[in-house]
Amino acid sequence: MDEPEHQHQPDQPDLPGEPEQPERQEGVGTPDAFERLWTPHRMAYILGENKPSGDGPRDGCPFCDIPHRSDEDGLVVTRGKVTFVVLNLYPYNPGHLMVCPYRHVADYTELTDEETDEVALLTKQAMRAVRTASGAQGFNIGLNQGPVAGAGIAAHLHQHIVPRWAGDTNFMPVVGGTKVLPVLLRDTRALLARAWPTD
C-alpha cells in the first residue's frame, strides 16, 4: 500500500497551507476512535482567570471594567443608556452574547425599571442581529442567579443569549470537553455590530 506524501508527526511541523492538526493524547489503554483537541483557553476560565476577587465593583469585576474599554478591546457589540451587550469570552456557541447593566448589581430584582426594560430591548435586538449575521435557528436565553445556579460571576448580573443550530451539540463538548468555535471573537464582534438593528 502506498504511503501518503505527508503524514502528520507530533514532532514534525505542519506544511504551509495544511490545516492545523489536533493534539493527540497518548496513554494507557486501547485508543478510541476520537482525536482530542487541546483548548488551553478554557483552563483560564476553570482556574478563575478574569473572575472578580470579591463581590464589590472595585474587586476586579470584568463587567465593571469592560465599559471603560474600546468596543474592540472589550468585545462590546453595542452600548445602551444603562446596559451594554458584550460577547462572552468563554462562549458556549459562536455569537454567545451577554446583556449587562453598567451598574454593579447582582440580582434581577434589584434592577431599576429602566434597566429591566433595556435588558429586554437589547435582548430582542441581539436575537435579530445574531439571526441576521449567522442564521441562528433558536436561542437559549437566561440569567444564572447565584453560584449555585451556575453563575460564573454572580456579583454582576448578566443575561446570556446563546444562539443554537440543529446539530450544534455533538461528541466534542460531551466526550472531549471541548467546543470548537470556527471564528475569532473579534471577528464575531465586528460581524454582530454591523448586523445590529437600528430600530
Which residues are catalytically annotated? 158
User: Residue 73: what residue type?
Assistant: D
Query: How many C-beta atoms surround the C-beta of residue 39 within 10 A?
Result: 15
Residues constituting the chain: 199
- Of the candidates 36, 17, 23, the one whose C-alpha atom is nearest the C-alpha of residue 176 is 36
DSSP-derived letter for residue 58 is: T
> Any known ligand binding at 88?
yes
Calculate the alpha carbon distances from 103 to 53, 61, 144, 150 in Å.
18, 11, 17, 21
Query: Which DSSP letter does residue 53 get?
Result: S
Supply 62's cell numbers: 470584568
Residue list, annotated binding site for substrate: 88, 160
Residue list, annotated binding site: 88, 160
